[in-house]
A and B are shown apart, each in its own frame.
Chain A
């Protein structure tokens, strides 16, 4: 390859990494808050799917109306889940599985009802890339990082914001205490159940934006089961990022990069079946978990309060 082509391939690889990472980061940063409060939400996949369909339906009023609808859809799904696990204190893994199952059915049915049995290909108004003046001119990094759709910037901005709330505010302290030792937090006057409920709803809302970013900033249409397990991957990313916003952001970018490698290798013309590149991010995540988790500590009360 010529140096120019190499540079273009590198920019393409970095930009694709960030693009793949965006919906995962949105969902994972929300789930970080949820898990820090002691709740693991396997309904995240359902919330993301609902957010994706909600954004497709809402986008009739423009792309930002779509994003808003995605947030509401994700939050509603998470609120149902939270009502069960926080209100009735049922097993979180089971309730999450059930919520995702119901969402697969509900989104599939509503989609066919709204757009016909064949599911005519929608063309929705999309959120185009938004170049940050100045920064986008930096060689290589500029076009990769600073010429992305607005939702990517929102995802990146959420990382320090969530860090600040978790580690520098009273609410964050109460939230972390809730996840580590809910009895002690309760005795200290922390509204444990309210915090858990809203932390879960927050996670669902962000998963909803994640679903919306998939529809409005990437694919431009909705398809059944289009999240294809991204909600579950987001949960793995939270573990890989050791329940810390910065770690989670790095883990999401790592997963994005591992996924984007296939575009790079295809450009290089390697004779490896593409399916192995599809496996790569999952295998890498698994290996990274083995290396990372040994030293990491999950919130002590995670999924414990039945």
Chain B
């Protein structure tokens, strides 16, 4: 099972890059040099790998883990972008007020603020889902737009820099900044992502709550009828933890990369994070791998634009094609299994 999933993933990646190369060739670009630039930007050197690929991968991995927690309970949190921004706002606010403290206090304080803000940002959708049955797909999505406007106001209002020239905050206190791996821009957040992946794996595999998530996600009616699982409570908690983790990603980004709040801090991490989680089939350890893969694609895309003059956004086509290819491979595998079990079954009961 596992190796077939890996083969499908590699095939999907090859297909995605093949589509990119074909498209570039049709558009009259030099596809070979473009792909070479992509590779150099992502894996060409130790510095590129750590400071471009992995730095990009950290928020994707953390958000992907948050998505996995919610999606495992079939709570479709599409609002990680907004929760990321909520976390970034809280982290900036906390980071600005922590001058003079020791890093061992400041850094956890920033993370706590960010995670709390992320959870609060998803509190309303969780409540609306429980109380009124509002689809969380819609409510979390709508709050993304609210978060973006709130950031815009923050950086021109309460959190704007003291000089009041640019729409951005002042840099956070030195104590709140994450230590870097010497000679690179890779920060402590990478470790956060790995530890969190292990934690989520443990929760999924070894705890009662992990089982409740799965039961709620795969068979809510059976879970409810069993009388042992409060489906509404599990769903709401899954959303809250998911929001907290996405918020933490925002705090880690501010503490490790930007040191300040500004608009467009996230180039769509909240949406790419969904793709990262889904491509890993919500498996925490696989999310680390897919996060690095998408981090590499986006880091490489930057190099492709600089060196080969190809718009970096082209890489989103690759990401889309990879997801569609994996979906198709899954569907075909499912069909093959069904055909083996039920050789005489009608192949397409609509």
Contact = CB atoms under 8 A, between A and B. Distances in A.
Interface string B137-159: 11101111110011011001100
Interface stretch (B39-47, B252-260, B314-322): B314-322
A294 interface: yes
A213 interface: no
Contacts of A289: 128, 132, 134, 138-139
A236 B141 contact: yes
Contacts of B135: 239, 293, 298
A182 B348 CA distance: 12
Contact of B275 (A90, A98, A279, A286): A98
B27 interface: yes
A285 B142 contact: yes
Interface centre among B137, B319, B321 (most CB of A within 10 A): B137
A101 B323 contact: yes
Contacts of A285: 142
Contacts of B78: 42, 93, 97
Contacts of A236: 138, 141-142
A117 B306 CA distance: 12
Contacts of B211: none
B196 interface: no
B331 A286 contact: no
Interface in A241-288: 273, 275-276, 278-279, 282-283, 285-286
A105 to B, nearest CB: 3
Instruction: Name the interface size band of chain B.
Output: 35 or more
* Interface residues of chain A: helix, strand, loop or mixed (majority): helix
Nearest to B310: A109
A105 B268 CA distance: 12
B330 A90 contact: yes
B349 A94 contact: no
Given A108-B313, A285-B142, 11 more contacts: A42-B137, A88-B332, A90-B328, A98-B320, A106-B317, A192-B350, A193-B348, A236-B138, A236-B141, A286-B134, A289-B134
Interface of B: 23, 27, 76, 78, 124, 128, 131-135, 137-139, 141-146, 149-150, 152-153, 156-157, 271-272, 274-275, 278, 309-311, 313-321, 323-324, 327-328, 330-332, 348-350
Interface of A: 40, 42, 84, 88-91, 93-95, 97-106, 108-109, 112-113, 117, 182-183, 185-186, 192-193, 224, 229, 232-233, 235-236, 239, 273, 275-276, 278-279, 282-283, 285-286, 289-291, 293-294, 298
